[in-house]
Structure 1
């Protein structure tokens, strides 16, 4: 496929300049080529201010790095668009673009499939195929931005896969997406969602990258959480809370706890009471997510009364909380649904 060749979309601007010097070219050409990469070009011949001899040399030693939009669905309910991307090896991933007023938020996938096993998620049903490379994560945004004709302002790493299970490529992606002459999306406009890989949370905290961290909690009780999320058998809730407190101390950033409300499973008064005890005094925000049902599981969304009752209890004890609206439900909006149907 591209064995032995440098993927240009995986380079920062400085690295691009260094690469040009390595192949015997002028350093300034690196900035020119970097600029072309972020215009979403597919072929070296589109670089009309680059000499043909250099374009031929680039073709010999490198590839641009492109994934392809294979399918695009547009919601009739809201400004949500879902994309299926075809990768160079034939794998399929999905991304979601959500428009709010003047903001465009893109939810990117981080892996082909997932091995975390969360029972409410379609992404993990067939397990993990492979990690995405940093440029493959990045190109989801470049392709969507070009398709929409609008600048992407915010990123959520909440699509298929566990970002902290693909740690090095996730870090590389964060570096690339920050590039001033590239997408130039600041860390504070990026949210990374994890099911709670404690060791990696400590590592991420030590790097002090000022992104927003979201933890998939889904229950304040270890036994119940283990039923919903098999990864909880390795990391207890106490372990997760300790790592979150460490993260807050190191970064001074508020943590979001994601809580998918599942009818008859984790939506009772007992759960809300325990959640208040668990989170009291922590710099955090709770995102209540009424479950988006998937065909392969029996989980159901609670009725509105239960959802509001759960939220009101957290409000009563001054735990910052919001109910996240489900977007794109008419286009298989839940993570992994569309990809699985398409396969």
Structure 2
């Protein structure tokens, strides 16, 4: 569908019943008004259903107070040469996935806050198209893709805006070596993609965990790929998970919730110049997950029926499993 310009751009009581004293009527009215006010506040805060909804005035991606702006996804390099990243701390959601040779790449999703620039930006993969469908028709910043994949990106329900389509939204940092030096300016890219979908429900819920949820204390969790690793360490002081990549702490990155989602990872029809096949991460279906929040690890089950749907997370008993409010990392790991 959507490349930029297709590559060119009550009634009163009767019967003699004696009315209640005026003071009692006033008390009842006051109590009713207070209840209505409380209900309104809960609805505004998204806590009217036990804290599991995002509510009006809150981001469906983080559960925090935010305007629901257009959705921008940025494909981000995660090789050691690409670090430290720029603008990643401002993302609503960060997805981590495996790519060729067991290395990792990131997809950062923005809506509530747009940093001045984000990067380094790298190329898209086939499985990105399935994942991003959950956001409707978002804008996608990426540096390119294999030539055989470009027609699929052209036909995908998103606004794909590489430097070829929107050159004015990108810049090179000459202090870094290519190809790890391409950055996007989110405001400029979204100006060029005015029809990008706005943030909406993708299945996440936020608030306190349900009573009876059996979480275990957890101070750290590591996820390893053949050629890369992620580690998350709980900071009780900050009430956030500190991130390390390939054993190196990532300063400034501290999500409130980390989801380790077990998925099927298979070979796609594409490979790199060295003949290594590109992994395809299947983000639809069902499976197990671990939700890290508040210094505890909660076993979970995930479900996503089709690419158009969001992903829901429940306890093994089937109750919704809310996340802590704040940035969410979803790390895909092979089941």
Same-fold status (TM-score > 0.5): no
- Range into which the TM-score falls when normalised by the shorter chain: under 0.3
Report 1 or 2 for greater relative contact order, CA contacts < 8 Å, sequence distance ≥ 6. 2
TM-score calculated relative to the size of structure 2: 0.25
**Considering only CA atoms, is the larger Rg found in Structure 1 or Structure 2?**
2
